[in-house]
Structure 1
Amino acid sequence: MRVNSSKRLLLVHAHPDDETINNGVTMAKYAADGVEVTLVTCTRGEEGEVLIEKLANLASSQDDKLGEHREIELKNAMDELGISDFRFLGAPNKKWRDSGMMGTPQNEGKDVFWQSNLDEAANELVKIILEIKPQVLITYDEFGGYGHPDHIKANQVAMRAAEISGTQGWEIEKIYWNTTPKSVIQMGIDKMKEVGSDFFGAESVEDLPFAKPDELVTSVVKAPEYVPQKLAAMKAHATQISVDGPFFALSNNLGLSVRGDEYYTLVKGQVASPLDENGRELDLFAGIK
């Protein structure tokens, strides 16, 4: 890939669809602004559930062809977000398989991402970092958002790769972890209750492991004008996301800002202006020359 922009953003995710759910608005906004956006996906999501009944045979318990199908879904989603540079970690020579959840037989497989050698996987990412030279990296927190082993490993690989690349000629200036403030999630729970629905079965924000104390949220990308692109990309991941389900239908009608605003915790670098009314930076590239 030839670098054409002075601003370059790298995202590291575990499975196809994670990027759209967590960062769809961010990706679409920065791509439209001329930033070089690169997505690295660590597995093909072979162990995901299949929400489309007529495609149930793709599941790992049947024909085990979900990974190939999700590659197509990812491409279609990236087309919607305007992203041309998206890759699988280790491709074309190495492929790590979706690890499934902790404690499952799939999680013990020798070829799954969770069981991969950390430095081997990290060095595959280092190759990409040294090629594209990103100033900004986005990945999960150390808990992987909600504890999925592939999300945890993606964090470990991304952070290790950033460390290694710093010794090989490229220092990533700012590193962000995806997060969602508790106040925003609680607002969603309250609004869903008002209309007689629930928020993924949660009675309280304390029931949701991915919600973080507001004071840990350092940054937010506010770009509601890109919500249509994000929704279109979510629809592209049709085996994994039911956009037409009750939650998304209701949240759309309620105008929940959780979908137009995407939140981050800065773990490397300095928060820089411009800031919003809560003191959160509004541009992930702020302070980078």
Structure 2
Amino acid sequence: MSERRLLLVHAHPDDETLTTGGTIARYAAEGARVTVLTCTLGEEGEVIGERWAGLVADRADQLGGYRILELTEALARLGVDGPRFLGGAGRWRDSGMIGTPSAANPRAFVNADPEVAIEALVAVIREVRPHVVVCYDPDGGYGHPDHIQAHRFTMAAAAAAGTDAYPDAGTPWAPAKVYWTVTEANSLSRGIECITEIPSSWRMPEPGELPCVPDESVTAAVDVRAALDAKRAALAAHATQVTVSETGSEYALSNNVAQPILAEEHYVLVRGVRGEADGDDRERDLFSGIAF
């Protein structure tokens, strides 16, 4: 197989669109084979509005199943097949936040047996044979325990997939590059400054409230302007979790904090050799430098 192949590992439905939706849509439109692997069903999420409020964990506990539907539609709008879940749908449960009862659930992702989860991820890598793998940074973007766990397992699996480890998980394959998805501080700040009007129920973010990383840590910036309509449509598909403004320039989660929809998505290369860089010493293509 010679086509470009990209694997993105995310913790919950909607995570794939929030920080990497433009990247997914761009590469899918360019003909790359893009696979999104989700680690939980997002059962512990909050719900926007009353229509589906009864689905939440402490009521009907049916939110995870409904979010499979949302994820299926979002991925279709981004131009990729799915969904696909680590270990199969429902294998591990959304852990919620640290210190909550949901984190003590034996099925919670934070309580997953590392060897079992890593082997399952190695099997996906060896099946998909991605040239590029994308996951979170060590803080999981904003500290959610499932994001941190996804980071740990993905980094371990990416390192093991090309070795003789886990002999029952398929033929070894070593991804050429591994990136962390991040948000650049300066781009976020500029995006917030461009927000001129928001719904009355929303509020602007407080200084430092939205997670980001220093500009100098970013090694790749992917232009997703041509994919923004697809990203907006995918965000809207996650209607229990995300609201897109009428202008299409910003969105909010259940906390009603306005966040800009950025024209670039940012990454940090952590495994592999950096490819051709722009004048600001950043790659503009995650596949740059890979021989096909």
**Shared fold, TM over 0.5:** yes
Which residue is equivalent to 1:188? 191
Distance between the aligned counterparts of 2:3 and 2:288, measured in 1?
Answer: 13
Match of 2:205? 202
The residue aligned with 2:145 is 149
Q: Equivalent residue of 2:180, what SS?
A: strand
1:84 equivalent to 2:81? Answer yes
Q: Give 5+ residue unaligned stretches, structure 2.
A: 165-171, 252-258
Alignment of 1:72 onto 2:43: no
User: Which amino acid in structure 1 is aligned with residue 279 of structure 2?
Assistant: E
Residues 191 and 89 of structure 1: CA distance in aligned 2, closer, same or farther (over 3 Å): same
Residue of 262, 267, 285 corresponding to 1:264: 267
**Is the 8 Å Cα contact of residues 118 and 156 (structure 1) preserved in structure 2?**
no
Cα distance change, pair 268–228 in 1 and its aligned pair in 2 (3 A): same
- d(CA) in 2 for partners of 1:138 and 1:144? 12
What per-residue deviation string (whole Å, max 9, x for no partner) do you get for residues 238-284 of structure 1? 00001137xx75549xxx985221100000112211x3332210110
Answer yes or no: is 1:224 the counterpart of 2:220: no
- Alignment map for 1:21-40 (pairs within 5 Å): 21-40=18-37
- Conservation of the 8 A alpha-carbon contact between 2:54 and 2:60: yes
- CA deviations on 1:48-75 (whole Å, 9 max, x unpaired) are 0111311111011110000000000000
| AA of the residue aligned to 2:181 | N
2-structure distance, mates of 1:221, 1:106? 36
> Contact between 1:5 and 1:35, CA under 8 Å: does it hold in 2?
no
Alignment match of 1:165 (pick from 161, 164, 185): 161
Pairing 1:93-172 to 2, within 5 Å after superposition: 95-168=91-164, 169-172=172-175
Q: What residue identity is the alignment partner of 1:7?
A: R
Number of the residue aligned with 1:63: 60
Change (3 A) 1:161 1:57: same
Q: Mind listing any 5+ residue stretches in structure 1 that lack a counterpart?
A: none
Give the match's secondary structure for 2:7.
strand
Partner Cα distance (2:53, 2:68) in 1 = 17
Q: CA deviation at 1:234?
A: 0.6
Give the match for residue 255 of structure 2: none
Distance 1:213 1:112 in 2: 32
Q: Which has the higher helix share?
A: 1
Measured in 1, the distance between the counterparts of 2:88 and 2:74 equals: 19
Question: Do the aligned partners of 1:184 and 1:258 also contact (CA within 8 Å) in 2?
Answer: no
Task: Report the secondary structure of 1:38's partner residue.
Answer: strand
2:22 pairs with 1:20:
no
TM-score by length of 2: 0.88
Q: Is the 8 A contact 2:134 2:181 kept in 1?
A: yes
TM-score (norm 1): 0.89
Q: 1:84 to 1:5 in 2, by over 3 A?
A: farther
Match of 1:277 in 2: 279
Matches within 5 A, 1:3-14: 5-14=2-11
C-alpha distance after superposition, 1:140-181 (max 9, x if no partner): 000000000000000011011112212132111100001111
CA-to-aligned-CA distance 1:94-117 (integer Å, 9 cap, x gap): 610000011111111110001111
CA distance in 2, matches of 1:56, 1:131: 38
Aligned counterparts of 1:269 and 1:189: Cα–Cα separation in 2: 33
Counterpart residue type for residue 81 of structure 1: L
Deviations 1:166-225 (A, max 9, x none): 213211110000111111122233334x66899965332x343x2111010000110201
Letter paired with 1:56: A
Question: RMSD in angstroms over aligned alpha carbons?
Answer: 2.2
Structure 1 residue corresponding to 2:177, chosen from 174, 179, 197: 174
